[in-house]
Each structure stands twice: as structure tokens, then as C-alpha cells.
Amino acid sequence: EPEVTQTPSHQVTQMGQEVILRCVPISNHLYFYWYRQILGQKVEFLVSFYNNEISEKSEIFDDQFSVERPDGSNFTLKIRSTKLEDSAMYFCASSRTGPTNYGYTFGSGTRLTVV
């Protein structure tokens, strides 16, 4: 069964450093998402991406965050200057026609630890 692949599975970074989290969505999917889950809290939406642009973003997704689909297969989330409170599990998800019709496939997540 097709999978959404995320790398790395775990990343430790110093506060203030830039990190890039990578995702390879399912090849015929058109809609891409990042969600995150701070330890002990609910999963929360960060951003959705369609047709090479952001279609929606949350209040969390400030200027420190950016997303990119650089080569038609990868989908990346960049955090420019990490803060301690960015420590969380980050999930990439993709959907063929939008999750209201077709549902999501989630990646297994990247656990980001900012020290």
C-alpha cells in the first residue's frame, strides 16, 4: 500500500537553528498538509498546500515557518529559528482529491526536539 514517508524520524536541534523536515507524499496525491502534536496535547493543523501554494495556514504557522515542494516529489517544512516550544511530533499528510472526499494518508512523523 502506498505510504507517505517522513525523514528524519527524530531530529535534535539547538535553539535558534534552522531545521528542515522532509516528506514524500503519495505520488498521485495533490493536497499536502503539515500537522503537529506537542507532547500530551491534541494534533493541530499547521498548513495545507495545493497547486504549489499555501491554501490555508493556522495562527501557529508564522513567519518562522515555510513550506516548499521543490522538485515535485518532496514536500518540506522549514523552521527558520527554532524555539523550545517548537518541540513536537510533526506529521505530513497527503490526499488525492482533498480529505473531505478521499481521506488522508499520514506519514509516521518526525519527532523534533529543540534543546
Is the Cα dihedral 82, 86, 92, 95 positive or negative? Answer: negative
Quote the DSSP letter at residue 1: -
User: Counting contacts by CB under 8 A, is residue 104 touching another protein?
Assistant: yes
Query: How big is the site for another protein, counted in residues (CB under 8 A)?
Result: 27
Asked whether 91 and 43 are in contact (CB, 8 A), the reply is: yes
Closest distance of CB 16 from another protein, Å: 25
Q: Which stretch binds another protein (CB under 8 A): 12-20, 62-70, 72-80, 98-106?
A: 98-106
Report d(CA 17, CA 40) in Å as an integer: 24
User: Counting contacts by CB under 8 A, is residue 34 touching another protein?
Assistant: no
CA 64 distance to own-chain centroid: 14
Report d(CA 93, CA 15) in Å as an integer: 26
Q: Which of 5, 11, 22, 45 binds another protein (CB under 8 A)?
A: 45
**Smaller CB distance to another protein: residue 24 or 89?**
89
DSSP 3-state of 31: strand
Q: Which stretch binds another protein (CB under 8 A): 12-20, 63-71, 77-85, 89-97?
A: 89-97
What residues make contact with another protein under the rule CB under 8 A? 31, 33, 35, 37, 42-45, 48, 55-56, 58, 89, 91, 95, 98-100, 102-109, 111
